[in-house]
Structure 1
Amino acid sequence: MSGSAITPWVVGNWKMNPMQADAQKLIQELKQRLADQHISKERCRIGIAPISIALLSVQQQLADASVEVMTVAQDVSRIAGTGAYTGEVSANLLKDSQIDYVLIGHSERREIFADNAQVVAEKVKNALAAGLHIIYCVGESLEQREKGQAEVVVLQQICDIAAVVNADQWHNITVAYEPIWAIGTGKTASPEDAQNMHAKIREGLSQITPAGARMAILYGGSVKPENAVELAACPDINGALVGGASLNAESFYQIAHAFAQTK
């Protein structure tokens, strides 16, 4: 089933950027752009994932935006609750601060910080138990793609969390496909390649849960205003997880606008 009737999401992942003054300026510019040309949440849901120490200040700044903009945590601890875990932020603490959305499984967490399948599954389990909505990232490396393993790798990453997601929790998960070789490189999968993978992901999800046909699947490989319209036209691409382009208010707005106009 095509995801063309699904409300798209466009989420800006700021990663370890920017400095505080620049973050405040960026939010103000985005709010002004949204006020000038409204994007309704029925056409496209918008989110920002700032660094952890900026979550509450960004949330506060966004509170009076002309449209709802979600504040998204970039990661969450594998440990639940509270306790003697220096440096960790649990799903329960995020929820207590009204941070209702979180990225889990981003390739940089998997590759640089050793978030293996077990760690990712623990994070997903705790986030769902705390009532968070998860943007779950999957994707293959260039080596895996060149070996013809892309689909197997990506679908296995979906299966890695299936055991910890209850039947009634799948509606709290959005999937983001991010070909690792296209993140921060300026490269992007062709719209055809991206659509093919998104269709495979939807097929795999639908074999696990009836919710699979209705789940948003975002694309996260160097999305820019220049390629957003083509990507948005693909039936199973239901939005974007935007990296570098989200650090520019106009670029980020144009990507959200592309999905709002196309879907």
Structure 2
Amino acid sequence: MSGLTITPWVVGNWKMNPMQANAQQLIQDLKQQLKQNNIPAEACRIGVAPTTLALLSTQAQFSDAASEVFTVAQDLSRIAGTGAYTGEVSAELLKDSGIEYVLIGHSERREIFGDSAKVVADKVKNALAAGLHIIYCVGESLAQRESGQAEQVVLEQICDISTVVNADQWTHITIAYEPIWAIGTGKTASPEDAQNMHAKIREGLSQITPAGSTMAILYGGSVKPENAVELAACPDINGALVGGASLNAESFYQIARAFAQTK
């Protein structure tokens, strides 16, 4: 139970949204929320993950925000460096552009685009080699949960990357637990269920690395202002990976505020 010593993270994953004009308005609205009632970085770190097209413009627009807002890439290539790989964006290109954070292993990448454990591990290895900080996503399907495999599946996903993470690199990784059945469905794991899984994740991490006791573990799965306070009160839930609610500046701000005030 180490949550109270960990600065929470609240990251908005915009996924394949929104159109440019709406994205600019969303950024301005969030900046206004932060100007009116600032959230210090030491209380809660805030990040947004726009489309690749919008990474640099989003970063530039947040440069004068009242609170620091980190720009997070939604994914990266399994191929390192540069070369003849049409459509790919490597870890090195992200780093060269000033992008320091990246999501890896999101369930939509695994389920829709076929990112295997090997592909995910390659991405993690490349990101760490380039000096990026990773938000590594893990989670189980409804069928896996109902069959009693949830903990096994999640811990295996963590073990999938353990062979490519050096001992001193675990501090560059944040875990995001996202039960697949709760993403974009309006359903959410109960705070008790989420806390139990987070505690298991922390236990598993602590068997792999001494950093496990202080690593942030975020919850993702239909996080809303209405459930954020209850989730934030759980000792091993150190923030949130927010989907749909992050497309509304006030909702996203309220979620960040909940974690900033509770932790």
Normalising by structure 2, we get a TM-score of 1.00
Unaligned runs of 5+ in 1: none
Residue of structure 1 in register with 2:170 after alignment = 170
> Which letter does structure 2 place at the counterpart of 1:64?
D
Structure 2 distance, partners of 1:78, 1:6, is 30
Structure 2 distance, partners of 1:100, 1:259, is 23
Structure 2 distance, partners of 1:2, 1:225, is 24
RMSD: 0.4
Structure 2 distance, partners of 1:195, 1:4, is 13
Unaligned runs of 5+ in 2: none
Structure 2 distance, partners of 1:2, 1:84, is 45
- Does residue 126 (structure 1) correspond to residue 146 (structure 2)? The answer is no
- Does residue 28 (structure 1) correspond to residue 4 (structure 2)? The answer is no
> Which letter does structure 1 place at the counterpart of 2:117?
A
Q: 1:3: how far off?
A: 1.7
> Post-superposition, which runs of at least 4 consecutive aligned residues in structure 1 deviate over 3 A?
none
Structure 1 distance, partners of 2:104, 2:204, is 19
The alignment partner of 1:113 has SS state of coil
Alignment of 1:96-111 (within 5 A): 96-111=96-111
The alignment partner of 2:4 has SS state of coil
Residue of structure 1 in register with 2:47 after alignment = 47
Structure 2 distance, partners of 1:3, 1:62, is 28
Residue of structure 2 in register with 1:70 after alignment = 70
Residue of structure 2 in register with 1:255 after alignment = 255
- Number of residue equivalences: 263
Q: 1:4: how far off?
A: 1.5
Structure 1 distance, partners of 2:85, 2:214, is 37
Structure 2 distance, partners of 1:242, 1:258, is 13
Structure 2 distance, partners of 1:16, 1:39, is 27
Residue of structure 1 in register with 2:17 after alignment = 17
The C-alpha deviation readout for 1:106-141, integer Å capped at 9, x for no partner, is: 000000000010000000000000000000000000
Percentage identity across paired residues of the two chains = 83
> Which letter does structure 2 place at the counterpart of 1:259?
F
Q: 1:5: how far off?
A: 1.1
Q: 1:188: how far off?
A: 0.1
Structure 1 distance, partners of 2:28, 2:212, is 36
Q: 1:2: how far off?
A: 2.4
Alignment of 1:142-161 (within 5 A): 142-161=142-161
Residue of structure 2 in register with 1:209 after alignment = 209
